[in-house]
Amino acid sequence: MRSVAYVTTTFPTLAAFIENEVHRLVKRGVRVKVFTLRGVSTVHQPEHAALIPITRSVGSPFAPAALGALLAWLVRRPHVLLPERARVLWASRGSLYALAGHLGYLPAAARVASEVEREDLGLVHGAWAHFPATVAYLAARLTGRPFTMAAHAGADLYRTRAFLAEKARAARFTTACVRGNAEMLKLLAGEGASVEWLYHGVDASRFDGRGRSRDPRPMLLAVGRLSKPKGFDLAVRAVGLLRARGLDPRLIVVGEGPERAALEALARAEGVADHVEFRGALTHDQLLPLYRTAWMLVAPCRVLANGRRDGIPNVVVEAMAMGVPCAGTRAAGLNEAIVPGVTGTLCEPEDAQALADAIAPLIEDPATLDRWGAQARAAVMDRFDADRNFERLFSLFEAAGDAGPGAARAAKGA
């Protein structure tokens, strides 16, 4: 593969799984340009600052460059733009959310198409299966490039499925980081779709399992965006229930998000404010000391009424790679990472009592925690090694091909 356009939401971010893909592609000699629909982020892992020069924001529907690009493609390729726009909007008719997004990001698709042509990029990849993939699909159709996409969790798969099957059928490949999501996409799109189940993976050299030394006091760790799908309110309530049993855990919450104020208020209302600490967003290097001292990671994920959910949170795999067992729920894709009684424990979602019941015996039995932690690292190295999983992704990109040098000149004649 010679070159690729990545279309995503915000970039770069602390989550880092898409950033790690881009980094590896660049190191492999692929020319990559990243187009964001929500802006270029200033909060990211330090090593990903090098990706900012190859990143451009294209999401505003009112930007003169986007409107100009839309008009230009309307003149040049109306036979492609108008029918494709109609297909996308018709598929979105049952969801106001999808209709607004697909209509609002139409100028962005035109702008990406213009940039792909100007930069002579050979392939267009939607890094999320909802609006970024639609933008990538339209840009690929306008420029005659191959199109590929990635699917992750609730935000891009379950809040709306408008135009999802069509994109999966059109893509040279679609990767899904949760087995259940891959199976759903295969059923939705039918036999003609190329859907690959491929975990994000974890950097085994960074999350190397070294230096583990449990804190003298039982320390529970919750890491992620402070949003409702994460279920961190259940972790706060569980701390209160554990303390009522005479146990003395503390909970460290890492991350920022819209639920922070509500979580802090809940900790006060539950009488555990002195035992719940909010650290804010941390980089990987800042997070590593917490992984080394945590007794377990708590991931009480839930599925919201609108379908939003997690896949397999990256932090679960990171913690397991560091030898930290996990307490999670049977929601989203956690059952693909956590094996109850081997690498952690699972309970039903939305049940703080069940979560506390799962954690309590482990606090009282550190030897089991240590055994599960060692088994967790071994399991991650077997299935979630980022280097090995990237090789699979790279082989998919190579098989997808690209339009080759001079594709921009060929498209101009169309």
d(CA 207, CA 323): 9
- Helices 232-244 & 352-363 angle (0-180, nearest 10): 60
Q: Say whether pLDDT at 408 is over 70.
A: no
Average pLDDT score, the chain: 94
Average pLDDT over residues 139-150: 98
391 and 357, same domain (yes or no): no
Average pLDDT over residues 285-310: 93
- Torsion, CA 359, CA 365, CA 367, CA 368, rounded to 10: -40
For residue 78, what is the domain's CATH number? 3.40.50.2000
d(CA 337, CA 199): 10
Q: What's the confidence (pLDDT) of residue 410?
A: 44
pLDDT tens digits, 156-215? 998 899 999 999 999 999 999 999 899 999 999 998 899 999 998 999 899 999 999 999
Q: In this structure, is residue 206 part of a structural domain?
A: no
Calculate what percentage of the chain has a pLDDT beyond 70: 97
In the sheet with 55-57, reading across from the earlier edge strand, the strands are 55-57, 31-40, 3-11, 124-126, 147-151, 174-176, 195-197
Q: In this structure, is residue 287 part of a structural domain?
A: yes
Instruction: Give me the residue label for tokens 């809040």.
Output: 159
d(CA 219, CA 359): 11
Q: What's the confidence (pLDDT) of residue 414?
A: 44
**Is 326 in contact with 376 (CB distance < 8 Å)?**
yes
Buried b (16+ CB within 10 A) or exposed e, 96-112: eebbebbeebbbbbbbb
59 and 194, same domain (yes or no): yes
175 and 225, same domain (yes or no): no
260 and 375, same domain (yes or no): yes
Q: Say whether pLDDT at 319 is over 60.
A: yes
Q: Say whether pLDDT at 347 is over 80.
A: yes
Q: Say whether pLDDT at 413 is over 60.
A: no
Average pLDDT over residues 227-253: 97
Nearest CA-CA partner of 44 in 209, 304, 281, 274: 281
Task: Count up the domains in the chain and report the number.
Answer: 2
Among 30-34, 232-236, 238-242, 327-331, the range scoring the smallest mean pLDDT is: 327-331
Domain carrying residue 180: 3-201+387-412
